[in-house]
Structure 1
Amino acid sequence: MPYRSSAYTANVYPTKLNEYLAMGIPVVATDLPEIRRFNAEHGPCVAVATDPNQAVQAINTALEREPSTDRERRIAIARENSWQTRIAKMSALIVEALDREPAEGRWEKVLLRLYRRARRRAGAVIVGIVFLYVISFETSLPWVMAEVLRAADAPRSSDAIVVFAGGVGESGEAGGGYQERVKQAVDLYQAGYAPRVIFSSGYEFVFPETQVMRDLAISQGVPPGAILLESEAANTYAHVTRVRAILDRHGWRRALLVSSPYHMRRAMLTWRRVAPEIEIIPTPVPQSQFYTHARGASLQQLRGLLHEVAAIVVYWWRGWI
């Protein structure tokens, strides 16, 4: 069970683990906290690998012939974690608690009262969930409320076009959003609004994102000499501070800013706080593929919008806006 170590996988419990053990086959897993906890509770039944070499060695060892007792032990461990076993333990706890009840029949009244209370609360929760679902996914209310995140102005003659790349973007997937931002920058350049383009991104998946964006812009007719790269920034605040240094070094005082439509408000607030002496004109991509919608928002779109709201709060708390 290979996992890439990250903040997310640090809290992952591999749901297939007990299924594999129930088959009696050896299991090799990445060094996850939940795997270590499982081994501590049941003994070293899962081979843990902290790097690729250890993983290869553990797999080779698992492929070797082993005693039948090892297979039986894995099946027994899986049986200990089956739903039947867990429910039996829970039932035993309930019976034990009921046996401690001093007054005959009192526990029935208590359970009935708890049941009625839980039913009323469950009804209220269900109504609330349905209401939230309807206004979030079936109406345009999320987009009306998200208008405050947008900022756009008519492009004017400027010293440079600054493009904040998206990294994994709003979608959470590598390369999300950079193509539409490059196209917007190329359109502004070819329209004659600025003689140069600055791509800013410290993100790297297979290749550095700024290099990919530069190559794409060149293929669309932007001369290589008209492109500058900033390849260290990992967030909006770093984008602003590092690009500001480039603008200051060349004495440029006006720039067109290209980014996602709903990222533009945070970017503009950061510019005004960090570099108020530079005139920034917001020119977001005219239509974002990720945020395209007919009426309601998708779950991924809501997540992207809420991320921007939360990021503005964090930036305010840090004094970046």
Structure 2
Amino acid sequence: MSARRRGFFHYLWLGFKISLLLMLANALFSIGQVYYYSRLEHTQTADAAIVLGAAAWDKRPSPVFRERINHAITLYQQKQVAKLIFTGGTPKPGFMTEAEVGRRYAMQQGVPADDILYENRSRDTWQNLVNAQQVAADNNINSLIIVSDPYHMARAAVMAKDLGLNAETSPTPTSRYSATQSKLRFLLQESYLLTVYQWVEWGSKLGLRFHPHP
């Protein structure tokens, strides 16, 4: 093999190793972000709380969604927020949307209908926030608290920042992901999704086209 070809493969291999190191560093950084935001609790007041959508079983919230709704209701009862914004559509036509299920549940817990806003078309976290942003703008709501599961908070916070939302985060104090194995799986899953999201955003800024947000 000629010296020129050996040099080419040397730099190719070097570039590959650097790429792997950068990807590893980004993954570790994402894990750190997910863990940090899972423990970050803001106590200041805001105009409204955005409750990120989760699965609903017919007219009942799933255990994950119920935890989010209950936490948002607590913020409302403690007067940390004046309004609740529920988000989320339905995966199957004919079923009540996640947002409608959340609204119904909150009203059953004593939250007045006038203090509840919602959007019922979103299918993922990004759409939750985009649609909630429009709801907030339509109702002169300027400051927000995002409510979701602890390990989901980092991705939601990064997305909110990218959208220009004036938002803080408030993770649920309890979660169905309480077993060590479940917590680890959810931590790694959210770290992966956050990493993918960040790479997609960086690629978009460079003019590359990728699949929409995870």
2:171 is paired with a residue of what secondary structure? coil
Q: Which residue of 1 aligns with 2:178?
A: 292
Match of 2:42 among 122, 135, 154: 154
Query: Which residue does the alignment assign to 1:31?
Result: none
1:307 aligns with 2:192: no
Flag structure 2 segments of 5+ consecutive residues without an equivalent.
Answer: 1-30, 202-212
Distance 2:33 2:144 in 1: 28
Residues 151, 242 of structure 1: alpha-carbon distance in 2 compared, 3 angstrom cutoff:
farther
**1:217 paired to 2:145:** no
The alpha carbon displacement at 1:151 in A equals 5.1
Among 71, 75, 88, which residue is 1:188 paired with?
A: 75
Structure 1 spans left out of the alignment, 5+ residues: 1-142, 169-173
**1:148-179 CA distance string (max 9 Å, x none):** 452523322211111002237xxxxx824011
Where do residues 95-106 of structure 1 align in structure 2 (5 Å cutoff)?
none
| Alignment root-mean-square deviation, CA | 2.5
Instruction: State the distance in 2 between where 1:305 and 1:200 align.
Output: 23
| Deviation of the 1:145 alpha carbon | 9.4
Q: TM-score, normalised by structure 1?
A: 0.48
TM-score, normalising length from structure 2?
A: 0.70
1:195 deviates by 1.6
Secondary structure at 2:81's aligned position in 1? coil
Q: How many residues align?
A: 167
Q: Would you say the 8 A contact 1:151–1:265 is kept in 2?
A: no
CA displacement at 1:302 relative to structure 2? 3.1
Equivalent residue for 2:169?
282
Q: State the distance in 1 between where 2:81 and 2:33 align.
A: 33
Identity %: 27
Determine if the alignment matches structure 1 residue 268 to structure 2 residue 150.
Answer: no
* Equivalent position amino acid for 2:48 in 1: A
Contact persistence 1:186–1:217 (CA under 8 A): yes
SS state at 2:66 partner: helix
Residue 115 of structure 1 is matched in structure 2 by none
The one-character-per-residue Cα deviations of 1:37-66 (angstroms, maximum 9, x if unpaired) are xxxxxxxxxxxxxxxxxxxxxxxxxxxxxx
Secondary structure of the corresponding residue to residue 153 of structure 1: coil
Query: With CA pairs under 8 Å and 6+ residues apart, which has the higher RCO, 1 or 2?
Result: 2
- 1:281 and 1:308, CA in 2 relative to 1: closer, same or farther beyond 3 A? same
- 1:175 equivalent to 2:57? Answer no
SS in 1 for 2:51: strand
Structure with greater strand percent:
2
**Runs of 4+ deviating beyond 6 Å:** none
Structure-2 change in CA distance of 1:306 and 1:199 (3 Å): same
